[in-house]
């Protein structure tokens, strides 16, 4: 029997983490170790779950040296942009220090370290962006992710960075909403919603981000890869497309701009990614936004049954 490579995932209870575990178990090519805070929230079998506080250096060191994974996919992070702005210490610990600990542990065993990053490392002055665009974050979340990227790039082990944009999806036991669910439930309730049309993104289905990370792992690809959806859209366009898909009243959707909302953290206006490199080198082919809505629609029905 061929020994399977070991893959270790952080943030397994989150949206991306759940999709990674699900797809890896289904493929059966790796021995899957999933870690998260507290108890396991993933209903599947076929993997080993370890409770881990990634901001505890000793715990990280002990667990990684025990498992000795060949590949680490570091997807755990503090991603609530406003919370990061308001709780900078917690954000730095979760996004920078935890990455430092995981990297050090990975260097010890020379594991391939795959880091999930974000479009929020950019200023938002132009988009869509290629892998070589110059970062210039406008909020603290973006600053911490950029600093963590720097640690990854200067590490002494094989590394990759998967940058992504506006990840959405449906996961088990997660209450977090997304633009599709929010638009659908608001319009079904007959609510008027205000949606910005001056921000541009390439929204990413969580399944596609997971598939992109797994392609990097399987191919042993190194360097920076943009892993996002293919469609360059404003939230207003996303809302209109969602309404159209579910046959809901579009007249309830009102256009507005970012100045209407006061939020603790500034958002980059225009990001989004060019994904040609991932397409060519990895064979990455994400779903269109329309197809992604269809996938979510099925998942919503399944979750209720």
Instruction: Give the pLDDT score at 2.
Output: 67
- What sign has the CA pseudo-torsion 113, 6, 105, 145? positive
Distance CA 245, CA 267 (A): 28
The total of other beta-carbon atoms located within 10 Å of residue 263's CB is: 11
Q: What is the DSSP letter of 270?
A: B
Instruction: Give the pLDDT score at 172.
Output: 86
Domain ranges of the chain: 5-168+205-228+271-287
> pTM for the full model?
0.97
| Three-point CA angle 8, 14, 15, nearest 5° | 105
Q: Which residues of the chain have pLDDT under 70?
A: 1-2, 174
Distance of CA 272 to the CA centre of its chain: 14
Q: What CATH number labels 5-168+205-228+271-287?
A: 3.40.50.720
Query: In which region does residue 237 sit, left (phi positive, over 0), alpha (psi from -120 to 50) or beta (all else)?
Result: alpha
Let me know how long the chain is: 305
- Taking the CA atoms of the chain, what radius of gyration do you get in angstroms? 19
Residue 242 · residue 182 · CB < 8 Å = no
Q: What pLDDT, in 10s, does the model give residues 154-189?
A: 999 999 999 999 999 998 876 778 999 999 999 999
Instruction: Give the pLDDT score at 3.
Output: 86
Distance CA 225, CA 115 (A): 10
| 195-172-81-200 Cα dihedral, nearest 10 degrees | -40
Distance CA 217, CA 74 (A): 12
Residue 165 · residue 133 · CB < 8 Å = no
| 215-219-26-64 Cα dihedral, nearest 10 degrees | -100
């Amino acid at each position: 029997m061929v020994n399977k490579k070991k893959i270790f995932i952080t943030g397994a209870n989150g949206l991306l983490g759940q999709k990674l575990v699900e797809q890896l178990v289904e493929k059966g090519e790796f021995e899957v170790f999933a870690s998260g805070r507290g108890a396991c929230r993933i209903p599947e079998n076929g993997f080993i779950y370890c409770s881990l506080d990634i901001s505890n250096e000793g715990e990280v060191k002990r667990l990684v040296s025990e498992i000795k994974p060949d590949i680490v996919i570091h997807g755990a992070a503090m991603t609530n942009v406003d919370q990061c702005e308001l709780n900078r210490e917690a954000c730095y610990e979760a996004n920078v220090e935890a990455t430092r600990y995981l990297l050090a542990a990975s260097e010890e065993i020379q594991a391939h370290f795959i880091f999930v990053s974000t479009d929020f490392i950019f200023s938002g002055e132009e988009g869509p962006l290629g892998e070589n665009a110059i970062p210039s974050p406008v909020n603290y979340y973006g600053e911490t992710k950029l600093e963590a990227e720097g640690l990854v790039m200067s590490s002494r082990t094989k590394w990759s960075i998967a940058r992504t944009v506006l990840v959405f999806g449906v996961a088990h036991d997660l209450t977090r909403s997304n633009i599709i669910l929010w638009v659908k439930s608001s319009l079904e309730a007959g609510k008027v919603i205000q949606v910005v049309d001056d921000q541009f993104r390439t929204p990413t289905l969580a399944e596609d981000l997971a598939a992109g990370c797994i392609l990097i792992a399987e191919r042993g690809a190194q360097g920076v890869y943009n892993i996002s959806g293919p469609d360059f859209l404003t939230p207003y366009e996303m809302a209109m497309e969602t309404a159209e898909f579910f046959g809901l009243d579009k007249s309830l959707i009102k256009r507005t701009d970012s100045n209407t909302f006061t939020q603790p953290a500034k958002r980059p206006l225009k990001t989004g990614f060019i994904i040609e490199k991932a397409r060519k080198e990895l064979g990455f082919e994400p779903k269109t936004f329309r197809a992604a809505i269809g996938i979510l629609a099925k998942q919503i029905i399944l979750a209720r049954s």
